[in-house]
Amino acid sequence: MALATDDQYSGGMQTVRWTAMADGTAEDHRRLTPAFEANAMANLVPNLLQLLGLLRGPKLGYQIDRYDHSLQSASRALRNDESIDLVVGALLHDVADGFAPENHSEVAGGLLAPYVDDETRWVIGHHGIFQGYYYFHHLGGDRHARDRYRGEPYFDACVRFCHRYDQNCFDPDYPNLPIDDFLPMLEEVFGRPSRIPAVAPLGRHRSQPSPSPETTSTSTSMSPGANHDH
């Protein structure tokens, strides 16, 4: 086998010979999965910041761009002593604007889902239709479209989010906090164990040591991870 030296997580591990996953062995995957997960988790926050950076640019007729809108949302949430989950949710609530314009709320909610509380996941995942209360009627639509969710446990929370941290976050004179102020919160939230149950019990997550083939054969760890699809 050719030795891999492609990144810091490979640790000198060998490169597999196969080109189809169907040909992989247990030993292969006990090496590959930790490297994949370590790489993913180490780059998660930097990648999210890059995605957020995609919102910089044209103001599209508004007084501020989507990046400053996001910072303003998070800044207002933080100054109102909202939970760290909601502050991070506010920062990322429109992160999918540039690559999922048809369902940016759901994509953001899904992105947050493994790491935040249920309320934040639901609120961010539904904020688009709730935000419509402020403009759908100007486009010939129903500003009360959100009413289809009345009775849901987080309905009022989503109304509140849009009122306090979305519809009002287009102010060029508002003193946004710098993105650096939110980095520790991003690191904390996205450093949590995943709330999504592991599909493969031997999958690990983050800093747990990579098992040797001898130890993994008897491991019963149910730690999160191994949910990626490669």
- Contact positions toward Fe ion, by CB under 5 A? 94, 166
Taking the least distance from each CB to Fe ion, the nearer of 104 and 206 is 104
Half-sphere exposure of 149 (CA within 13 A, CB side): 20
Work out how close the CB of 209 gets to Fe ion at its nearest, in angstroms, rounded to a whole number: 40
Neighbours of 24 (CB within 10 A): 12
Work out how close the CB of 61 gets to Fe ion at its nearest, in angstroms, rounded to a whole number: 15
Query: How far, in Å, CA of 103 to CA of 95, rounded?
Result: 11
Work out how close the CB of 107 gets to Fe ion at its nearest, in angstroms, rounded to a whole number: 10
Taking the least distance from each CB to Fe ion, the nearer of 37 and 166 is 166
Taking the least distance from each CB to Fe ion, the nearer of 68 and 94 is 94
Contact 214, 106 (CB under 8 A): no
Taking the least distance from each CB to Fe ion, the nearer of 71 and 189 is 71
Work out how close the CB of 123 gets to Fe ion at its nearest, in angstroms, rounded to a whole number: 11
